[in-house]
Amino acid sequence: MISGKAKVCGIMAYPVEHSFSPLMHNFYAGELGLDFAYVPFKVPEDRVEDAIKGAYALNIAGMNITVPHKQRVIPYLKDLDPAARAIGAVNTLVRVEGGYKGYNTDAPGLWRAMEEAEMTVKGRDCLLIGAGGAAKAAAYVLGSQGAASVTILNRSEGRARELAGEMNRCFGREFMNPLALGDYQKLPDRQWLAVQTTSVGMHPDTGHALVEDKAFYRKISCAVDIVYTPARTRFMALVEEAGGRAFGGLDMLIYQGIQAFELWNPGLRVPSESVEKVRQLMRKELEQ
């Protein structure tokens, strides 16, 4: 039940209609018996500042921020978490005195999903596929979890070089290197841990992977694709066919949400049974 004392949160995006966040957060609130409501807000690019000021005036406790606003919100925040600053993107706002503090829960969400899949990053040679916004959060995870090296494979080599440079500066060690897509055969024969962050293979273009060569996949022992539609991407299928383990992006989506929910409700933990129920719910939704 939502009373006059309800804590109100929401998601700011454009478009917002396809978001699963209202379903997830309202489900957790129901499971935990909280007086809490989470609503979608469709905000065009030129109204982001107004929306943040308006949300604060309306006493909104927290907000998720997604495409295309994750960078655009930053100038309008009162405070910024250091990891969100390093990643350069914010997906969660928490109300503080005088405004909102920005966090990035995509990175800890990805890490929690990788941990649950028993993917060890410490001391590993990692392959990061893609160099866009999602790749930045993944690069931060690989760096902060102690990867020995990170090779960034991307269609545009310049973007990969830029990301590698930024992360090498951020972590104070030279361990990230760019690799142009056309040079993928130069990848040394090792047991790579791969994180796929491009939109290639995402619904409705599910028949594609960035690299089709089977020899490439024999070098990958373990991989996560952050795409969650379809549940099994062509990239995952190619990794598995070559004998590696592969995971999709659904758990990252779920755990970034839980991290946000727990930031808005300090002291509360979403029980693992509720996480499992949401996983089943989401699988059903995604099948439709």
Q: Which of 48, 73, 93, 131 binds ligand ATR (CB under 6 A)?
A: 131
Q: Is 138 one of the binding residues for ligand ATR (CB under 6 A)?
A: no
Q: Which is nearer to ligand ATR, 119 or 200 (CB)?
A: 200
Question: What is the sign, positive or negative, of the torsion defined by CA atoms of 66, 271, 81, 121?
Answer: negative
Q: How many CB atoms lie within 10 A of CB 274?
A: 17
CA distance 42 to 234: 32
SS3 92: strand
First to last CA, the chain: 28
CB of 132 to ligand ATR, least distance (A): 2
Q: Which is nearer to ligand ATR, 51 or 153 (CB)?
A: 153
Query: Of the ranges 79-87, 102-110, 125-133, 184-192, which one interacts with ligand ATR (CB under 6 A)?
Result: 125-133
Q: What angle do CA 221, 227, 231 make, to 5 degrees?
A: 85
Interaction pattern, residues 11-50, with ligand ATR; x per rule: CB under 6 A: ----------------------------------------
Interaction pattern, residues 184-223, with ligand ATR; x per rule: CB under 6 A: -------------xxxx---------x-------------
Question: What is the sign, positive or negative, of the torsion defined by CA atoms of 129, 135, 141, 146?
Answer: positive
Q: Which residues are catalytic?
A: 70
Q: Which is nearer to ligand ATR, 14 or 32 (CB)?
A: 14
Q: Is 156 one of the binding residues for ligand ATR (CB under 6 A)?
A: yes
Query: Which amino acid is located at 5 in the chain?
Result: K
CA distance 85 to 90: 8
Q: Is 132 one of the binding residues for ligand ATR (CB under 6 A)?
A: yes
Please answer whether residues 262 and 269 qualify as being in contact, where contact means their C-beta atoms are separated by less than 8 angstroms: yes
State the residues that interact with ligand ATR by CB under 6 A: 130-135, 154-156, 159, 197-200, 210
